Structure 1
């Protein structure tokens, strides 16, 4: 127990029947309840009741999936495809960028004391084009760095760096 009289991290157990059990309140809860814990910034951890494995990320992804299915999604299909493409060599770069971007937006929202959705929407309408342009420039620079590095080390030598660019001897092969 902490000084406040309760455990610092709330433990949620997920049972094989897919039910979630809050050990602090000794009651079953839903993904909506867990979403409220996130919104209230209450620390919690979800574990598989049988194995003890930490499955918090999996539960959070389920909450995001549900939220994306309801109403207007945050992630377009193209954005999700882009994220999937980043898994691999640039995964850490994207993860760091997204984490810092979201943290910055939260900090700005907190500092500005944005209370109404209208004020938040106005902020996003003015900032999103700027953020999108910065991300586009960053991705373009990353792409060029990757292509230059690949060419420098001769990786994938059978392919040209720029689509449609002819390499020496291409005409002779026809």
Structure 2
């Protein structure tokens, strides 16, 4: 028995089923969808989960990584080869857990900054935009603050890891 929507209410989280033939089925709309449409769900901040149709395994991360791969392969990549190589180097490293959290917090801070700028400039006329782009000091100042906060957060994380390592080694009677 399938559940029907009652009084137009949508489920809190859309369920996308991935079939062995690699097709994606949106259970909310009862249609097959493409990765481009899944990307649009992300862009629209829609909550969803991708599940394997047979095993019910959560495949959401895999699908999101696939979208990132397609975006990186097309036109204007966000990550340089050096950045990707550095990210790969953190896998298996003691800082792996910290780095994931660090990147997540920085992306969120940048998103918040972008939202603030968008909110403050939503009523700009073309002339105001031209003036704003010529000034750029407020934006550079905000970006400078963001970069400084990011650097400070990373330095604090490094200090904490060093302290924890020294304490752990001390507990085993090993001096650095």
| Normalised TM-score (structure 2) | 0.69
**What residue is the counterpart of 1:97 in the other structure?**
102
Unaligned runs of 5+ in 2: 170-175
Contact preservation (8 Å) 1:2, 1:8: no
Change in 2 beyond 3 A, CA 1:38/1:93: same
Q: CA deviation at 1:85?
A: 1.4
What CA RMSD, in Å, does the superposition of the two structures yield over aligned residues? 3.7
5 Å matches for 1:109-124?
A: 109-112=114-117, 113=119, 123=139
Contact 2:102–2:154, Cα closer than 8 Å, also in 1: no
TM-score normalised over the length of structure 1: 0.69
CA distance in 1, matches of 2:68, 2:148: 22
SS at match of 2:101: helix
Partner residue of 2:81 out of 72, 77, 89: 77
Report the Cα offset of residue 134 of structure 1: 5.0
Give the structure 2 partner of residue 52 of structure 1.
Answer: 56
CA distance in 2, matches of 1:25, 1:106: 29
The answer for unaligned runs of 5 or more in structure 1 is 154-160, 162-174
